[in-house]
Structure 1
Amino acid sequence: MKNKLFMLMLVLVIAVLGACGTADKEETSGNEGTKTEDKKVLTMGTSADYPPFEFVDPTVSEEIIGFDVDLANLIGEKLGYEIVIENIDFNSLIPSIQAGKVDFVLAGMSSTPERDKVVDFSIAYNETVQMVVTKKDSGIETVEDLAGKKVGVQVSSIQEDLANEVAKTVDMTVESRNLIPEVFQDIMTKRFDAAIIEDIVAENYTERNTDLTFFPVVVDDADYKAAVFPEGSELKGQFDETIQELIDNGEIEKLRQKWFVVEAE
């Protein structure tokens, strides 16, 4: 009789524990791609070689930091998303969006007709100017001085497109590198005579290296930075509204003051 009673109690305990485990699973599971019941997760693609927009400062930590990172976190906070960052080579960012590996991209990227065919862009959050960066002793002071010179750019960037356009009228050689630090390293070692880089990034590097200088490239169209999404993504509308709010309330201007070494004139 005692054995039967023991077995009955054991069965009841197992049943109760099983029910508790099921309840825990039901309580902690939520929508697809969530970590908690009320906080959804978005994966952001970026190329962390582009200070001050996105970069790693190894003297502090291996964490990706910068203007775009802070902006993404501000947007995520407003919309109720947790932002997880994937570091991807710049030329692989749009393919990563198309393959569904990331939900959006913030990487100092500009809209172009070619990109517009395959992805969607948010409203602009920053405007930049393109610069020729060179060593102070290079003797290069104008775009025309690039004749006969080797000019570096980042692969798949609008600067690469601009350099190739300039090369149609100025007899210069254009070479691409995957990462911006590689471009600057090749300027310093004189593998490149110059490079075409956007103003904020150029200023950031030249502030830290007094051997470098820069001057603007005059172009017809302004360059605007925007977030990037898969075609038809509902996130675009949410980001557009939030970016405009952050512009209107001065939060984006605060980020510029925090991260940009020198404001573009």
Structure 2
Amino acid sequence: MLPTNTSRTAALATAALAALLALTACSNAEAEAAGEAAFPDLADSAACVELREQNPDLVGTTKTNALNPHTPGYEVVNPENPDEFIGFDIDLGDAIGDCLGFDVDYLPVGFSELVPTVASGQADWIVSNLYATEERAHGGVDFISYSKVFDGILVATGNPKSITGIDTSLCGTTVALNKGYVEVPLVEAVAPDCEAAGLEAPTVSLFDSSADCVQAILSGRADAYMNDVNTVKGYIAAHPDDLDSAETVMLDYEIGIGVLQGDHAFRDAVQAALVEIQGSGLQAELAGKWALDENALAEPTVLSVG
């Protein structure tokens, strides 16, 4: 069946945006390759110059970012160059590196392996749309928050199961989630209320990436998927005839950058750089660039259990 004019227009708009963002990302990557700052105004700011003077051990180094590159808008493989990653978190990491004087490289891993990868010393930090929680911090990292969390619930077009939130509307449904997602225990916690109402508990189906979760809905193997609302909107834009949003849920979490527990110098330098990035308006600018319309700043604060 041929697509409707509306879906064709949406698909063309999505493709055009992806091409524009890829070109912008390439210009950033080219600047980095040439030894230039991707964000020279930030790097030249008085605050960042002072931070480099205060943290000389960071200048000229390379910090490896453990990331799960399957979240459109935040971090994915560049469709124009399979050797590059693009997204808000890539730019944010580059901005922090420019401010503090270090380069960034990447180690792609499964979502549930993000924290263990840094805790084991295989990578230096996590800039990968990761919700900062005490449970994750107990895995061996400290977090520096930078954004509030709004979760969207992705469903098939028309919301055939009438899902209204992380509540008893999930009874009897199958929810696709990434391994290690904070939503896993939230969905599982609905089970007693379902059973009390004489209904089946929701089934949680775990996957290694967001793309796999979405594919489960598209193939009819799952009824819902939960993630950052901007991510949900991105998947709807990519599949306007097949996917829809059921609800937006405010979760009591913030998105944070993870660093090795005990590395206070690096942690505190990242926090200070984030303060400057937010104060300059760059974080909001990057959110707009990557069409993250519901990206609310959170004051950079540290979550540590060490």
TM-score, length-scaled by structure 1: 0.80
Equivalent residue number for residue 227 of structure 1: 257
Offset from partner CA, 1:117-170 (integer Å, 9 cap, x none) = 233434322112122210123242413332211111110011223222233434
Which moves more between the two structures, 167-176 or 249-258?
167-176
3-state SS of the aligned residue for 1:45? strand
**What is the letter of the counterpart of residue 257 of structure 1?**
G
Deviation at 1:195, TM superposition (A): 1.3
**What is the letter of the counterpart of residue 115 of structure 1?**
R
Is the CA contact 2:163–2:246 (under 8 Å) kept in the aligned structure 1?
yes
**What is the letter of the counterpart of residue 116 of structure 1?**
A
Equivalent residue number for residue 109 of structure 1: 130
Counterparts in 2 of 1:264 and 1:203: CA distance versus 1, 3 Å: farther
Q: Does residue 142 of the first structure (1) align with residue 158 of the second (2)?
A: no
C-alpha separation in 2, matches of 1:71 and 1:79: 12
Deviation at 1:38, TM superposition (A): 5.8
Deviation at 1:261, TM superposition (A): 4.7
Deviation at 1:70, TM superposition (A): 0.3
C-alpha separation in 2, matches of 1:173 and 1:55: 28
Deviation at 1:103, TM superposition (A): 0.6
Where do residues 37-52 of structure 1 align in structure 2 (5 Å cutoff)?
39-52=60-73
Where do residues 36-185 of structure 1 align in structure 2 (5 Å cutoff)?
39-58=60-79, 60-62=80-82, 63-137=84-158, 138-143=160-165, 144-170=168-194, 171-185=201-215
**What is the letter of the counterpart of residue 238 of structure 2?**
R
C-alpha separation in 2, matches of 1:245 and 1:217: 30
TM-score, length-scaled by structure 2: 0.70
Give unpaired runs (5+ residues) of structure 1.
1-36
Equivalent residue number for residue 273 of structure 2: 242
The structure 1 residue matched to 2:284, chosen from 242, 253, 256, is 253
Which moves more between the two structures, 194-203 or 242-251?
194-203
The structure 2 residue matched to 1:207, chosen from 237, 241, 248, is 237
Q: State the superposition RMSD in angstroms.
A: 2.0
Offset from partner CA, 1:180-207 (integer Å, 9 cap, x none) = 1000001000000111222111011111
Offset from partner CA, 1:54-81 (integer Å, 9 cap, x none) = 11143x1211111110000000011010
Q: Which has the larger radius of gyration?
A: 1
C-alpha separation in 1, matches of 2:75 and 2:128: 7
**What is the letter of the counterpart of residue 166 of structure 1?**
V
C-alpha separation in 2, matches of 1:260 and 1:223: 21
% identical equivalent positions? 22
C-alpha separation in 2, matches of 1:191 and 1:141: 16
Counterparts in 2 of 1:83 and 1:264: CA distance versus 1, 3 Å: closer
Counterparts in 2 of 1:97 and 1:200: CA distance versus 1, 3 Å: same
Which moves more between the two structures, 42-51 or 157-166?
157-166
Give unpaired runs (5+ residues) of structure 2.
1-57, 195-200, 297-306
Count residues with an aligned counterpart.
Answer: 227
Is the CA contact 1:122–1:239 (under 8 Å) kept in the aligned structure 2?
no
